């Protein structure tokens, strides 16, 4: 047995257990008690001896309370070990990486300081929204790509002349890597967002698609689903075939899932960075391998 201990938060219990099994490590559960005022109390329900503690905890919705849980587990783990690897597949606030409008706080820079202060000695993330923002974290970091995992997953499908579409230019490089893995091409839509109103537009030139051509609409995360819906509407005008939605982080707040399903997609596929019905691509193997190689 490796000298690892895996602490799983309430947000990532299933993923944490899988990682523990692959590392032949002891799994330690987190017990959460919520008080009437909404405050949470976290307890690690196991014991460790000398070794590396791996805290597996995604900071998805509700982001603030799950970040507090993640930081609390890291802090307690650091009391027990000098080596604490924080595995945070989905990191809340990763989009707040620039001062787009005067006076805006670059919140991810604040979060980065908190991880260091809590006692994390290493940090592992998956398809972090802004790779440049990782520079705010003053500790060793691995940013894992889920692209090869999605490629392997989609090889099971009998797709008709498929093409990978990124809903914005930001994710274009990853869409191209995905396409290369499955032997096809990729295009990116020119999505623009008004920083004041939040309104989204897809600007020309628009890519042309063949009739009945299957589409894999690929993004790092889907939250409100606005970008995906705009993209679907545009694609539908081109008389394309089946549309598959693939995203590393299936956040899906409010009625976004219902809207996207109603828009006519064949299926929605995400990883288990966030536990849910769309967690069809398992990250445990690649995370475990990267931990062993670190």
Q: What is the pLDDT of residues 139-187, one digit of tens each?
A: 999 999 999 999 999 999 999 999 999 999 989 999 999 999 999 999 9
Closest CA to 97 of 87, 116, 111, 86: 111
Please say whether the beta carbons of 123 and 88 come within 8 A: yes
For residue 150, count other CB atoms closer than 10 A to its CB: 26
6-30 b/e (C-beta count within 10 Å ≥ 16 → b): bbbbbbbbebbbbbbebbebbbbbb
Rounded Cα distance, 121 and 127, in Å: 20
Within this chain, domains 4-145+282-292 and 147-272 share the same CATH topology: yes
Please say whether the beta carbons of 78 and 31 come within 8 A: no
Rounded Cα distance, 225 and 227, in Å: 6
pTM given for the model: 0.94
Please say whether the beta carbons of 114 and 82 come within 8 A: no
pLDDT confidence of residue 194: 76
pLDDT confidence of residue 205: 80
Q: What is the pLDDT of residues 185-200, one digit of tens each?
A: 999 998 887 777 778 7
253-270 b/e (C-beta count within 10 Å ≥ 16 → b): eeebbebbeebebeebbb
Share of the chain above pLDDT 90, in %: 86
Class of domain 4-145+282-292: alpha beta
| Domain assignments of the chain as residue spans, ordered by start | 4-145+282-292, 147-272
Share of the chain above pLDDT 70, in %: 99
Please say whether the beta carbons of 87 and 54 come within 8 A: yes
Q: What is the pLDDT of residues 105-122, one digit of tens each?
A: 999 999 999 999 999 999
User: Alpha helices of the chain — where are they, by DSSP H?
Assistant: 13-23, 63-80, 107-118, 147-154, 172-181, 226-236, 256-262, 284-292
Given a cut of 70, whether residue 1 has pLDDT beyond it is no
Sign for the CA dihedral angle at 250, 14, 53, 2 comes to: negative
User: Alpha helices of 101-220 — where are they, by DSSP H?
Assistant: 107-118, 147-154, 172-181
- 62 confidence band (pLDDT: 50, 70, 90): very high
The CATH code of domain 147-272 reads 3.40.50.2020
Closest CA to 38 of 78, 80, 68, 83: 68
Give the pairing of strands 26-34 and 4-8. Answer: parallel
């Amino acid at each position: 047995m490796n000298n690892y201990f895996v602490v799983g938060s309430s947000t990532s219990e299933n993923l944490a257990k899988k990682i523990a099994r692959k590392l032949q490590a002891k799994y330690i559960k987190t017990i959460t008690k919520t008080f009437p005022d909404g405050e949470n109390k976290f307890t690690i329900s196991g014991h460790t001896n000398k070794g590396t503690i791996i805290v597996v905890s995604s900071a998805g919705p509700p982001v603030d309370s799950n970040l507090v849980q993640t930081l609390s587990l890291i802090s307690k783990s650091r009391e027990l070990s000098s080596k604490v690897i924080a595995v945070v597949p989905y990191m809340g606030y990763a989009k707040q990486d620039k001062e787009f409008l005067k006076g805006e706080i670059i919140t991810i820079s604040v979060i980065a300081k908190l991880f260091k202060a809590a006692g994390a000695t290493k940090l592992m993330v998956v398809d972090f929204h802004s790779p440049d923002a990782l520079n705010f974290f003053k500790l060793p970091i691995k940013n894992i790509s889920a692209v090869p995992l999605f490629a392997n997953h989609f090889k099971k499908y009998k797709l008709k002349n498929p093409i990978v579409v990124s809903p914005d230019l930001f994710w274009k490089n990853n869409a191209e890597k995905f396409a290369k893995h499955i032997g096809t091409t990729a295009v990116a839509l020119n999505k623009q967002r008004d920083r004041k109103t939040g309104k989204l537009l897809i600007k020309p030139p628009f890519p042309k698609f063949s009739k009945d051509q299957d589409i894999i609409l690929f993004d790092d995360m889907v939250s409100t689903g606005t970008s995906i819906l705009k993209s679907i509407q545009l694609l539908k005008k081109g008389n394309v075939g089946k549309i598959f939605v693939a995203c590393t982080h299936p956040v899906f707040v409010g009625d976004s899932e219902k809207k996207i399903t109603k828009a006519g997609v064949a299926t929605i596929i995400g990883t288990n960075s966030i536990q849910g019905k769309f967690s069809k691509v398992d990250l445990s193997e690649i995370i475990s391998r990267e931990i062993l190689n670190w």
